[in-house]
Each structure stands twice: as C-alpha cells, then as structure tokens.
Amino acid sequence: MLETVIKRERDLGTPERVSEKTVTLTIDGQEISVAEGTSLMRAAAEAGINIPKLCATDSLEPFGSCRLCLVQIEGRRGYPASCTTPAENGMVVYTETPKLHDLRRGVMELYISDHPLDCLTCPANGDCELQDMAGVVGLRNVRYGYDGANHLKAKTDDSNPYFSYDASKCIVCNRCVRACEETQGTFALTISGKGFDSRVSPGQDQSFLDSECVSCGACVQACPTSTLQEKTVIMMGQAEHSVVTTCAYCGVGCGFKAEMKGQEVVRMVPWKDGQANRGHSCVKGRFAWGYATHKERVLKPMIRKHITDSWKEVSWDEAINYAASEFRRIQSQYGRDAVGGITSSRCTNEETWLVQKLVRAAFGTNNVDTCARVCHSPTGYGLKQTLGESAGTQTFDSVMHTDVVIVMGANPSSGHPVFASRLKRRLRQGARLIVIDPRRIELVSSPHIKADFHLQVRPGTNTALLSSLAHVIATEGLIDEAFVAERCETKAFNEWRDFVSLPENSPEAMEEITGVPAQAVRGAARLFATGGNGSIYYGLGVTEHSQGSTTVMAIANLAMATGNIGREGVGVNPLRGQNNVQGSCDMGSFPHELPGYRHISDNVVRAQFEKDWGVTLQPEPGLRIPNMFEAALGGSFKGLYCQGEDIVQSDPNTQHVAASLAAMECIVVQDLFLNETAKYAHVFLPGSSFLEKDGTFTNAERRISRVRKVMEPKNGKSDWEVTVALSNALGYPMNYKHPREIMEEIARLTPTFSGVSYDKLDRLGSLQWPCNDDAPEGTPIMHIDAFVRGKGKFMITKYVPTDERSTRRFPLLLTTGRILSQYNVGAQTRRTPNVMWHGEDVLELHPQDAEDRGVAEGDWVGIQSRAGETVLRATLTDRVQPGVVYTTFHFPESGANVVTTDASDWATNCPEYKVTAVQVTRVSQPSEWQRQWSRFADIQQKLLRERSRESEAALTGK
C-alpha cells in the first residue's frame, strides 16, 4: 500500500450501473458486454479504451458539457457525447477517427485560449486533466491569441484556510458543483452568470468561507484543473509518494492516501477504494492533520515527583523505569489493586490490546477501562442482551438499500459527516426519514431533504418514546409475526408485546412525558413498520443517559418486531464517536471482559489467556473509570496509566475527576500534548500521532482497516513500543517486533478475529469481523439466518425517569454534542485552522428562555447545576426547544463537564451527559471554577516552560 510514484486512480468516466440485463456492442472493433444503462464512455473504459474527457468523472453523474468525449456511432447522425450516451445492443462505435480528432482539438483550443499558460509554475503541473487532454488530443498551437475577452485576470478566493479558488483557471466543467451536490449533499456551489460570463460561485456570490461550504474537499477532489487547489500543494508542490491509511478522527473510518514529500504530508486524499468512505471525506480527515506537527507537541519524556514541581526531561529509559518503580512501590504499599489503566478509542487495536494486557498480566489486576465507558458502553450491553453481539449489524453501504431511516440521538452531519452524505444521497432518492432528537439537527431540514417526522423528544425520555412507538406497532397489528416466530424467543416476545401494549405505554399516555404529540408518534411508527426496509442509526443521544442500555435494547426490540434485521438496508447501527470505539471494546478494555466480550469469570476463556500469556489472571472484574475515581478519593487507588485519553476534560463532573487525580501518587499520561489530565501527571510519555504508527482501527461497521506509518515517530517511539517497554520494566516481558505480531496474538486468542491478518488486510483493503473459518473474508451483515445468541431476545424496557429532572432551582435541561469542525476534547482540531469555524463553545438557548432571563445574543451566561457552574456566551436559536439548552465541549476553558453530573446508566455507568438540570443567568465574569482553572493552567504551563529552559541549558551546557 506504499506507492513510490503517485498514480492518479483510474477514472472510468461515469458511475457504475447495476442491472441484471447486459447489452453487447462493438467499440473500435472490440465486442463488449456491459450492464444496461452503462455509458459508452464507461463501456469503452472497461475494455481499456480511454476516450478523452474533461467534465466527466466516475464519481459523478455525467453532465455532457465539455464536448471532448465525442464519438461516432454507425447509423447515427452527428457526434454524440460518450459520457451521456448509454450503450445499446448492437451499437457499433468509433472513438478515434480523423473527424473526431479535429473536433476534439477544436474544443481544446477554445479551452486553452482562455487559460493562463503557466503550466510550468502551476501547482497542478503534472496532476492536471486539462494539461493531459491537451496532450492526448495533440494540441500544438492555439489560433485565437489572448487579445479577446477572457478570464485571465479573474480573482482568486483564498478565504478557505485549506484550499483556494483561482477563477482564472476554471473551465466551468461543473464537476465541483456536482460533487458538492451528489457526493457531499451540501449544494453550496452554483454556476452563476450565463455563457461566457458563467463562473463557479459559492452561495450568492459569497466567499467560500462565508458560504454554506463545509470544507469537505469534494469539489477540490473533483476539479480537473488547479482552480480548486489545496494550499499545501500550492506551498509544497506535488507529492512524491503516497501511503494508504485510515483517518484517526471519527467512527466512519475513512481511508486516505497520505501523499508525501519525504517525511512531510503534502495532502490527505480520500481513498477511492476506501470501503467505508468510497472516496469521500470531511474537513477533519481531509484537512485537519496539522496538529501532528504542532509546536505544542511534547516530544521528550518527562517526570516529576509532585504536580507542583517543574517537569524534568529525561530519557525514555529513565521515564519508563521511574513509572514502573512507582507502580511497583504503590502496589507493595497499598496492594495489587491500587493501580490500573485506561485505554483509548483513539489508539489502535494493537495498542489497546497491549495496555489491557499490561494491566491484567503485568499489574496483575483487572482495573482496566476505556473511554468507551463514557460513550457506547450501553451499546455493548444492550445489543449483547438482545441480539447476542456487541456491535452494529450493517455496512455503511447498506443505507443505499434502506427505505425508512430512524436517526435517533445522533447528528451525523456533524459527528459522522461522510456517512451523513451517503444517507442524504439515499434520502434524495426517496427514502423516508424519522429524526428523534431534542434538537432540530441539520438532517431535519437541509437542501432537498425534509424529515417526515421530527419527534422532538424531551431529554431523558427516549425509553418512553420508544415504548410508545412499539405500542403502536404492537396494537395496530404491524408486527412482522413471521420474522418474530422464526427468529425470536417466543416467551420473551409475548411478555414484551403485553408490556408495550399496556395503555400506559400508548403515545397519548406518554405525550406528557416525552413532549411529542401522540399523532406524530403514531405516524412515525406506522411509517417505520410499513415503509419497506427500515434501519435505525443512533448515537450518544441514546447511550449517554441513566437508561442508555434500556434504550439500546428498546431499539433492538423495535428492529426485531418489524423484521428489520439480517439483510441489506435494515439493521441497528450505533454511530461510534471516535475512530476506534468499536475496537477498544473488542480488545478487552472493559474490566469485566477479556477480548471478544468474554467474561473474565469464564474459567475456560481465562485459562486460554493464562496459557498464552504465562500468568495467572484475576477472575473478578476490576474497577470501572468512575469506581477508580471513587477509590482514589477513598485512598485505595493510587496509580494510573492513561493512554490517549483526557479524562479531566471528557469525563463528567470535572471537579470530582480533578480531585480524584490529585489524590493519586503516580499518574502516567501518554499523549501528544500536555492535556488537562497531564496537568495532574507525574510521568509524561510522549505519544505518537496516527501518521507515525502501524496498526489497525475498527470503525462503526466492525470494519478493521490498516493504519500505516507515513513518517517516523517524532518522539522516537510508536505508542505500542512504549507500552512494551513499560511492561518489560515491570518485569512482565513483551517481545513484539511489529504490530503485525500483536495482531497475530489477537487472532490467536479472539474467535471473531481468528481470520484477520495484515496480509489479508493488505489484500482485501479491510475486513469486517467476525472474520474466521466460517467467514474468511469477514461479515458485512450480521444475524442473517440466526442471531449470534441463537434466537433474538426481546427485553422489557420500562421507562424510569432520571433523577435529573427540571426543578424550580434548575428549571432547564442541558444537553451536549459535537460540531463538525471540532472533535471531542479538541486537542487535535483546536490546533488546526478549524478554529476559524468554531473558536469557542457557546450555549444554545431558546429565544423564549432567553427573554425570560433578559439574555441577548452574545451575552455571557452562567450555567449552574448541582455539580458546578461555568460561564459561556449565549446564542439564541429555536434549534433547541423551550426548556432545553445545548452546548459543545471542545474547549477546556468552557468547562461543560463542570456542570454535568456523575449520574449514569444503570447497567454500564455510562455518564448521563445528555441530561443535566441547570439554571442559566446573565453574568459578567467567569465562574469561580474558570478562574481556578485559568490559574492552574498558567502554573502548569510555567512548569512546562521551565522544563524547556532546563533542557536547553543542559544541551548547551550553560
């Protein structure tokens, strides 16, 4: 997957057509059979005949504007465009005749006469289709000169931080406009003006930055010239080689070609063969990778005795030996279970495997947990109970076969943008949409898309709403009885049907609780049950509740009751937040589960690991993250190895988390930057970015994809090597020479991964687990003939109100979420030009609630809950319903999690981020917590700066 010379991927001109019928024709004397509907251009290309083209590309529907692809067809007059002419049985086509050559040269001559002839200094030199086509058609001179009207002085729009639009080079081929519409679904571009005056325009003659453009890069990718061009290419020139790897941001798991010059990334190009993204990307993966070389990265290991001491830069050996000796000291002083580790869903499967192995085998405890605890742990629990496997059931491609989609508690346009684009494409084709969300997310109404139902549920009442949807399905005879009888446990189903049919679960009875009109619930239930293939996509707005696990089970119940499991176009699809949430759970990061979701108390499974690892494992589950905090405050938990997670910023009730960390004696943080957690650390082990390591990520579809090293680690070690060194220093030897050997161990010990290997991943591009003898090339769709647990199990999902209810003291409900340009704690995206779109977290407040409080747009407001108080700027919008306020949590100084409480899901302890009872008042200064945070941050920055000076002095000997 390493290309030493950058090759442009083969472009067959027009999209593939799928049809059971084929047509046979002759092109340049060759007999060719293709699927009905295939264009002449594609038919020729499939037979190896390349017809010149400019406005056509195989990712977009043909447009037929450039007239370069003309062909001659026996028995037809004129010269039709091959990109827009479908192949027909018996056609005889010629693509190369003297007349066609003349016509094409004429077309090219017109283009070139209005194009700056600066090829040698143009950033696209060597990567320009216009240049290529001039060569292909044999254009040698241009008769018209440059004296007439032309666009050579047209202005360049440099407003977007990542790409520029040089209008003088535009050939008005419309590819960018179509890419924005068809691929991305944003419709930000138009061709303004007519004839000679026509030009590409974002919005109403706005700049790219001021327009609706979301900077996905699809137009840049589609542009055949240098008109739309990445600024890094303009600055650095063309790349020299490329490596295929996987985006390290969200759970879509887009494949990218990292195009490189030596050790520097020139650009990240969405990989056309990427099975999750099919050549598309969003602003984060495409452009926001500059953090990897940001000056604030800490590249040298550091240690200190107390968090009030300055950091001391030390060698890797010293840092690792110090960490190991501290962990051993703590264990001998306070007991074996006084230490633990936290794995990260941003790290690779191999890294996560090693951290949980280190905790279980080297520490000798099961005190290991993962950040999935605070996002999708209810998915693991709920789907395991009902379907038998802790994972989503489909591929992303499956959405193209769906007829009715429920999107619940997820905002794909912001959180999973590439999936959102695919979903929108299906919706534009006519699929119906039901959105269940307290907030009016973008999908409810966006260009050419309007949800059939937006059930604007009151935060905390998801379970009640799903019961009322199920009530309609059960009482109106809409259950898929045949599916249920064949595939599900009868007794559990009967109990469930009786339960949901109770009058108290009717939409009318639930309306007061959920705030959703009963008629809308009835309409949505009927649509979902009768509208054809029904699929459910959900996010953290489902899981991060006191009844998160219950709601996941209710979703699975709904899918089973309507027979929507086990084929294309249906299914239960958790949209995983981070790149490797699925993988970090699969790899045994939970304290009660060994890899592959097998309980630690299972003697047979434990024995397999004990034999392979040569240690005795503890049979009892260890501490979950919130239990670690409690134990730290109670004095029994003293040491933590935290890889790639910023728990101080991301976990709820910040002050509680900070107090817990302050009570520990040795915190080892392995990360890229001195993050909020590292401010409480005693050992800092510099982390490596995804560009600097080998491994695999597993996305929301269970798709395992390779992450490939495109540059050497700037800190001298990949993350997996650091864990190996720490384990060796603790006296538990680990001997891996490459992550591929870790994957061999994963495959050896995890039945769902037994068929996975790097060789197979290189060969097939990616694999969806289970991948084993039964499914050697993976399992795109799960539960086809039977559920993993045998029969599907309906679970009773009684609505239990959360304790976080609005009261007179805290009359509003705060709910939180993400924004497109930022990612989680923002450590990466805040260090990129993405801050131009979102430079601070703000509080969304309904105008009515604002008026009641005398709050105007842009005012500072204090948000108080029973956990704490913070201050943000207010923005007034009816995206939120009255009584509900909303914010993001990307900036540490915002302190959104100072306000969230430690209420959590009953089954998994996943925090209830999505419902916090708050009061909002106008204020004029930061909260007490923010003042303290700012003082503490200043001190820690000073301690870090002192470290720099000390090391400089050591280096220069002054």
State the residues that interact with ligand SF4 by CB under 6 A.
170-176, 179-180, 184, 186, 188-189, 200, 202, 213-219, 222-223, 225, 227-228, 247, 249-250, 252-254, 277, 281-282, 284-285, 416-418
Q: Which of 376, 794, 317, 868 is nearest to 554 (CA)?
A: 794
Phi, psi angles (nearest 5°) of residue 585: -75, -45
Q: Of ligand SF4, ligand FES, none, which one does residue 284 interact with (CB within 5 to 8 Å by kind)?
A: ligand SF4
| Nearest-approach distance from CB 12 to ligand FES, in angstroms | 12
> Under the criterion CB under 6 A, does residue 55 sit at the interface with ligand FES?
yes
From 146, 145, 181, 151, select the one nearest 166 (Cα to Cα).
151
State the minimum distance, in angstroms, from the CB of residue 900 to ligand SF4: 24
Q: Considering CB distances under 5 to 8 angstroms, the limit depending on partner class, which of ligand SF4, ligand FES, none binds residue 829?
A: none
23: enclosing H helix or E strand: strand 22-27
SS3 assignment, position 439 = strand
Q: Does 203 bind ligand FES (CB under 6 A)?
A: no
Contact 540, 511 (CB under 8 A): no
User: 65 or 865: whose CB is closer to ligand FES?
Assistant: 65
**347 contacts which partner out of ligand FES, ligand SF4, none, CB within 5 to 8 A by kind?**
none
By a kind-dependent CB cut-off of 5 to 8 A, residue 658 interacts, out of ligand SF4, ligand FES, none, with none
Given ligand FES, ligand SF4, none, residue 175, with its beta carbon under 5 to 8 Å by kind, binds ligand SF4
Q: Which of ligand FES, ligand SF4, none does 67 bind, CB closer than 5 to 8 A by kind?
A: ligand FES
- Structure tokens of 682? 């005693």
Instruction: For the CB of residue 81, give the shortest distance to ligand FES in the complex, in Å.
Output: 4
Q: Read out DSSP for 641-672? A: EEES--HHHHSSSHHHHHHHHHT-SEEEEEES
Q: Of 597, 116, 152, which Cα lies nearest the Cα of 389? A: 597
Instruction: Based on the shown chain and the rule CB under 6 A, indicate whether residue 716 belongs to the binding site for ligand FES.
Output: no
Asked if 68 interacts with ligand FES (CB under 6 A), we say yes
* Helix or strand run (H / E) with residue 345: none
DSSP per position, 581-610:
HHHHHHTT-STTEETTTEETT-HHHHHHHH
The interface partner of residue 56, options being ligand SF4, ligand FES, none and the CB cut-off 5 to 8 Å by kind, is ligand FES
Length of the chain: 958
Using the minimum distance from each CB to ligand SF4, give the nearer residue, 108 or 725. 108
Q: How far is the CB of 39 from ligand FES (least distance, A)?
A: 9
Give the residue, chosen from 37, 64, 532, 833, that forms a contact with ligand FES under the rule CB under 6 A. 64
Q: Is the dihedral of CA 555, 392, 437, 654 positive or negative?
A: positive
Stretch that binds ligand FES, among 50-58, 411-419, 680-688, 725-733 (CB under 6 A): 50-58
Residue 136: enclosing H or E segment and its boundaries? helix 129-136
Residue 83 interaction partner, one of ligand SF4, ligand FES, none, beta carbon < 5-8 Å per kind? ligand FES
499 with 505: CB under 8 angstroms? Answer: yes
Stretch that binds ligand FES, among 1-9, 58-66, 379-387, 487-495 (CB under 6 A): 58-66
CB 743 within 8 Å of CB 725: no
What are φ and ψ of residue 669, in 5° steps?
-110, 130
| Complex with ligand FES: residue 129 or 326, whichever CB lies closer | 129
In the bound state with ligand SF4, the residue whose beta carbon lies nearer, of 252 and 260, is 252
Nearest distance in Å: CB 85, ligand FES: 9
* 3-class secondary structure, 310: coil
Tell me whether residue 91 or residue 223 sits nearer to ligand SF4 (CB atom): 223
293 contact partners, CB below 8 Å, separation of at least 6: 714
Among 34, 44, 66, 842, binds ligand FES (CB under 6 A): 66
- Helix residue ranges, H only, 765-922: 847-853, 896-899
Nearer to ligand SF4, 179 or 898 (CB): 179
What distance in Å separates the CA atoms of residue 212 and residue 577, rounded to the nearest whole number?
24
Select from ligand FES, ligand SF4, none the partner in contact with residue 529, using the beta carbon and a kind-dependent cut-off of 5 to 8 Å.
none
Partner interacting with residue 298 (select from ligand SF4, ligand FES, none; CB below 5-8 Å by kind): none
Residue 225 touches which of ligand SF4, ligand FES, none (Cβ within 5-8 Å per kind): ligand SF4
Contact by Cβ (8 Å): 596, 389: no
Rg of the Cα atoms in the chain: 29
State how far the Cα of 354 lies from the Cα of 368, in Å rounded to an integer.
11
When asked if residue 72 is in the footprint of ligand FES (CB under 6 A), the reply is: no
Binding segment for ligand FES among 52-60, 455-463, 730-738, 922-930 (CB under 6 A)? 52-60
